Amino acid sequence: MKKECIAMLLAGGQGSRLYALTQKMAKPAVPFGGKYRIIDFPLSNCSNSGIDTVGVLTQYQPLELNDYIGNGQPWDLDRLRGGVHILPPYQTASGSSWYEGTANAIYQNMRFIDRYNPEYIIVLGGDHIYKMDYSKMVDFHKEHSADATIAVLNVSLEEASRFGIMTCDSDCRIVDFTEKPKEPKSTLASMGIYVFTWDKLRKYLIENENAGGSKDFGKDIIPAMLQNNERMYAYSFNGYWKDVGTLYSLWEANMDILNSSDLELYDADWKIYSRNMSLPPQYIGPEADIQDSLVSDGCSVNGSVHSSIIYSGVTIENNVVIDHSVVMPGTVIKSGAVVKYAIIGADSVIESDVKIGASKEETGENQKWDIAVIGHGEVISSGVSVAPGQMIPTV
């Protein structure tokens, strides 16, 4: 059963910089945008790009992610030949081990890939928010007879040291690559999206496994291919892309839905699919005041909601103020509570007269400001104040 291209989606990371939001779930399973999970974006991109075989490599806290993906039906990936496959680490005759790095995770699943005998594989991260037609990147790879193609975007010079940075010639061929350089030579940053000719990558995975090291694409595979003068090209991406690996970037990406036309979720030609519960329509009470906000199905709103993302099944009682905040599914916010510049985790209860977070202006120049964060399933007792930048529980 030969496939031209299959996708391998790396979804096993702990997401430690999301702290309280990833204590009980993998980062790709974290809710996003009112009705989605982070992993909906690469899965939907695969479906929309005509890639019907996807391996999802899980490891850390996989239960909720596995349940959410299921048989892949919401993304049209429930196929008899191909479809979506959950690929956790497993024991073999020679022993067992966790995935030790991004390259090692692919190496441990070479038998899965070989079942489909693909010409190309596309390697994806499970923690980015973006819409991208992978088929165009594969076409670019084929047109250049490339061994590896790396999706890149231009970042500011100040941000460049956070990424793998490439230098290219006039034909987009990569001539230099440095992982998180202190003094970047360019601002072309790797997006962590790779297309490889499978026969070539297979060879490098085996060599890298035997050599030891960090077993990582950015630290091992890409430098080794470059050193051996393999044909490596940069594919430029100009759309919206956000790494939501930190609490602030996750909050900011949610706010971008309200503020940016670049992250268009209402595009009928490139839908983002998700698995959703059957919930009644949202109820907006007579005392509700909603401005520049997104309110999902199953919500009951009787308070004030400004510039915020309210996920499904949230209850907001009378005299509640919510401003520039993200409230995740199933949360109850009781009368008199004030929530500003905050992320509230799923299934939490915010009792009456609680104050969470504040704006930069309210905080003042002499005090540290950041978004306040409440983890999943927390109960915040009446009258408690949670300062800007404070997290409950502390991790």
CA distance 379 to 272: 32
For residue 255, give the nearest of 347, 343, 329, 154 by alpha carbon. 343
For residue 82, give the nearest of 108, 107, 55, 58 by alpha carbon. 55
The band of 81, judged by pLDDT with boundaries at 50, 70 and 90, is confident
Write the pLDDT tens digit of every residue in 343-388: 999 999 999 999 999 999 998 877 889 999 999 999 999 999 999 9
Residue with tokens 């393999």: 230
Please give the model's pTM, rounded to 2 decimal places: 0.93
The pLDDT of residue 93 is: 46
The band of 266, judged by pLDDT with boundaries at 50, 70 and 90, is confident
What mean pLDDT do residues 41-50 have? Answer: 97
- Three-state secondary-structure class, residue 162: helix
pLDDT at 92 over 70: no
- Residue 185 Cα distances to 177, 225, 233, angstroms: 9, 20, 17
